[in-house]
């Protein structure tokens, strides 16, 4: 009878359907990628220890071209990965650029220890 009440009911139904579909898609992706689904209950030590059945599934050999941090950022976006490993042209050391969950990027650099005098 009331148009606004009907819209509210329809919006609630659509919201539930979207949530259900999104959950189904996420579950399906996790199963296809072989990611373990978090158990509903369990001991934290069991999660940390892992299974004895874990094994190295894939090995990938990459070139580490020397480049600047800005070039590495561009490469990260071009390949669409969450991180990029490269040789820093300035220092000659291996660095990792990664996409932060909170937004933006981060960089991991090795600590250079000074020789004892």
User: What's the domain range around 24?
Assistant: 3-108
- 92 Rama class: left (phi>0) / alpha (psi -120 to 50) / beta: left
CATH number of the domain residue 46 falls in: 3.30.505.50
Average pLDDT, the chain: 77
pLDDT in the model for residue 108? 94
Tell me if 114 is assigned to some domain. no
Does residue 51 have a pLDDT over 60?
A: no
**Cα–Cα distance between 99 and 43 in angstroms, integer?**
30
Q: Are 112 and 93 in contact (CB under 8 A)?
A: yes
The mean pLDDT of 12-37, rounded to a whole number, is 68
Cβ neighbors of 76 (< 8 A, separation 6 or more) are 83, 84, 97, 99, 105
**How many domains, in total, are found in the chain?**
1
| pLDDT single digits (tens) 56-112 | 778 888 888 899 998 888 888 888 888 999 999 999 999 999 988 888 899 999 987
Model's pTM, two decimal places?
Answer: 0.48
């Amino acid at each position: 009878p009331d148009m606004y009440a009907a819209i509210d009911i329809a919006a609630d139904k659509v919201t539930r359907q979207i949530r259900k579909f999104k959950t189904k898609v996420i579950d399906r992706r996790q199963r296809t990628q072989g990611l373990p689904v978090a158990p509903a209950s369990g001991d934290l030590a069991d999660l940390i220890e892992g299974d004895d059945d874990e094994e190295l599934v894939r090995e990938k050999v990459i070139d580490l071209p020397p480049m600047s941090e800005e070039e590495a950022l561009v490469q990260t976006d071009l390949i669409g990965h969450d991180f990029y490993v490269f040789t820093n042209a300035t220092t000659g050391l291996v660095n990792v650029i990664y996409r932060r969950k909170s937004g933006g990027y981060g960089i991991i650099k090795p600590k250079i220890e000074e020789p004892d005098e």
